[in-house]
Structure 1
């Protein structure tokens, strides 16, 4: 289940199987009480963490709630939505804009032992990342970087941020959302379903789960086996001509 793909010899992939996963994934509002096997849940979470993310700093955390009492309280904090009250598993998916420094060191410490660490990678995590992501006391370093970026950007392309604490929140949330999508697709591939919920009282969720103060609850994901009445309506999307632009 957790076999590692050899990147140098890519496996044959059946796009129709992937299409089935994507097209059958729905935001399920009601679940059966069938539990998700631990091995399946662990595999889905591993696949979630394989999502692409900024500088491989993996600015996310997953809080898996299965115990009935705590799950009931978390469902209440999710405004009592049917998805929250019926799911056997609730997962708080948390973006961490504050872990970049520790994770930069982890990126070096956990570099594959059978591969030589390229000097450019070591330089990035030791020198570039600390400058790029650090906003400094009261955001003063971020403001200075923004000013410098505006000046240098007049002559050539430059990275535009993150230049503030709020931009760091956006930075972390983008990568975390990619991991959340991986998780939802992995659950569907295993025959289970999910519902991403933004409708919640984040303050209560953070207090209930004792989350880090700087963590951002990107969503609470309800997960389980789809009930017969779990999908409320047919799926539809806007005309692609409205949203897709070829230049």
Structure 2
């Protein structure tokens, strides 16, 4: 018998193809708001993205108020996407929440019993794997040990510094951002992920934690008729895809 956890819905690949191929970075939006229930579902789907150890190192700051949105658009260097979108979402990576979320993963385990291997992972393995120690000393120790042991067998080589932790959190957060963009497109809305912004001003405006990393500011809404600036193109498939 198929369990609820393993049961899969029928997937229409053609509809998925439409979502992916019609997603574009939209530079101008109509003023039509995104209904709150639609936006909420899209954000929920964003949080279903795969992420390292299910530690969910992300936060989403949804800006809808006209005054704050105007200030945030200025911090986004006055880009047309930021100025015209009815919603702006700052997508933030949090490399510092892993310890709190490891405890939360245990507290909110969804099954009746907690497998010993899961309990051991979050109580013992994760604190060793992600902890860098004061001034990064523990991370340096792990790196040295990894280099030595790695000569004998395959082992994880990181994260072993605060910089590695920033990359770690950003990778998972970027996956969540992609889920969000595809979810919006599936609902008939569009988006523009913006990297051009003054991070200090964005963090100050939205009161983002000092250790948070603004991965992108996402403009979202209905695309305007002049919202797409040029035809989409990508480099040759064979240049970038390698079958070994």
- Look up the match of 2:12: 14
Alignment partners' CA distance in 1, 2:233 and 2:6: 38
Extract unaligned runs of 5+ from structure 2.
none
Correspondence list, 1:112-151, <5 A = 112=110, 114-151=111-148
How many residues in Structure 1 have an aligned counterpart in Structure 2? 242
2:196 is paired with a residue whose SS is coil
Alignment partners' CA distance in 2, 1:47 and 1:13: 16
Q: Tell me if 1:162 matches 2:159.
A: yes
- The Cα shift of 1:6 comes to 4.0
Q: Tell me if 1:220 matches 2:236.
A: no
- Look up the match of 1:201: 198
Q: Tell me if 1:237 matches 2:234.
A: yes
TM-score in terms of structure 2 length? 0.98
- Look up the match of 2:183: 186
Q: Deviations over 1:84-140 (max 9, x none)?
A: 00000000000000000000000000001x432110000000000001100000000
Extract unaligned runs of 5+ from structure 1.
none
TM-score in terms of structure 1 length? 0.97
Equivalent position to 1:102, from 100, 103, 106: 100
Alignment partners' CA distance in 1, 2:7 and 2:198: 46
- Look up the match of 1:92: 90
Q: How large is the Cα RMSD of the aligned pairs?
A: 0.9
